[in-house]
Amino acid sequence: MFALVFCSLTLPVFAEQTELLQDTVTTVKAEVREVLTQETKNVPGTDVTSLYQTLSVKILEGEEAGRIITLENDYAKLEVGDVFYLRHTIRAADASEYYSVDEPYRLPALLFFTILFVVLVLAVGGLQGIRGLLSLVGSVLVILYVLLPAFLAGFSPILVSILVSSCIIVIGSYITHGFNKTTSSAVLGMIVTVVITGILAMVAVSATHLTGFGSEEAVYLNLNARGTIDILGILLGGIMIGLLGVLYDVAIGQAISVEELHQIAPHVSRRKIFTRAIRIGREHIGALVNTLAIAYVGASLPLLLLFSQSDSSISMILNREIFATEIIRILVGSSGLVLAVPITTLLAVLMLVKVQNPKNEAVGVVRNEEEVLAHFHHH
């Protein structure tokens, strides 16, 4: 009896102490001084080969800066002089410690290509390139300091995504293209398209019974947030945010097309300007839809290769959420691009093209243009 009472009193304490005991993990930069051994071995339990190295490294920062240690590496091939992040783990259970390679140090290479990108944009784009960079910085700041905190705070992801997308559209468009009617017509067209695309995305996700857990990062996010984040809403928001980059191109292109057509032929009516601008937009759609689809396929190439080796049928593979999610992204995003053409063109025509008096319209010029257009459609 005494033993039972003793256990009932002490076990909760021990359990609580066990839960509080966590491994101590620190990450610091280190440099490879020497590759002691290097050989190819089979990964245990498989017939896949992997490179194994024994490295002598020098810790570059932290409390152990300057210390030389030896460690095993089977993560990424490293050469003498390579800098990487070293993970130092101290086990809470027995105070044992071990070192491992966390990640290669990639920041210098990332900085080089960032500078190269900026130089190319400035050299080729000039003032417009500078405006584009400012727009990019503004969009990233809005995503980091408005969109993500709003998601984490528990606000509706679909509502937040629409509002943030509209904010990014307004900031990016006016910074890049200036305050004028052409930009305003494109902005209104993009905002209307984003709202319609959001509604379409909700219908598509509901009809296909997607859960938002088609990727590992979504599962980890849900665990870290203890289930407080709407993962399905994040999926919907991601579809709309991913549409913005290509949507800029479509909307601005259509608005400028309307403006240029009206300037070169001010005698032409709104209906005819709309028809000609739609003709330009159709050519644009064909290229952009293909670009969007290929971009998604390129990002999912390892996944496609993995399932191409599966014995499952095509219908079974396409039905999996991880594939169905990407298909919905492509179809809904492409539908938004297609809708952006008539929506933006109509708004641009209403805002930019002045109403002409039919009596003052150059009838002969218009008739000649119609004959040329009819001949083109015939061919």
pLDDT digits (tens, 9 = 90+) for 200-236: 988 998 898 888 887 777 788 888 877 778 888 888 8
* Range(s) of the chain covered by CATH 2.40.50: 21-105
Residue with tokens 């479509």: 250
- Architecture of domain 111-378 in this structure: Up-down Bundle (1.20)
Q: Is the model's pLDDT at 89 over the cut of 70?
A: yes
Q: Are 75 and 50 in contact (CB under 8 A)?
A: no
Q: What percent of the chain stands above pLDDT 90? A: 15
- Architecture of domain 21-105 in this structure: Beta Barrel (2.40)
pLDDT band at 64; cut points 50, 70, 90? confident
* Range(s) of the chain covered by CATH 1.20.1640: 111-378
Alpha helices in 72-179 (DSSP H): 107-142, 148-152, 157-177
d(CA 53, CA 38): 4
Q: Is the model's pLDDT at 85 over the cut of 90?
A: yes
CB-facing half-sphere around the CA of 33: CA atoms within 13 A: 12
Compute the average pLDDT of residues 137-165: 86
Compute the average pLDDT of residues 60-70: 89
C-beta neighbour count of 337 within 10 angstroms: 23
d(CA 80, CA 35): 7
Residue with tokens 């959420």: 321
Give the pTM.
0.72
Q: How far apart are the first and last CA of the chain?
A: 99
- pLDDT tens-digit profile of 322-354? 888 888 888 888 888 889 999 999 999 999 887
Q: How far is CA 89 from the centre of its chain?
A: 33
d(CA 107, CA 217): 23
pLDDT band at 379; cut points 50, 70, 90? low
- pLDDT tens-digit profile of 239-274? 888 888 778 888 888 999 898 888 888 888 888 889
pLDDT score for 359: 47
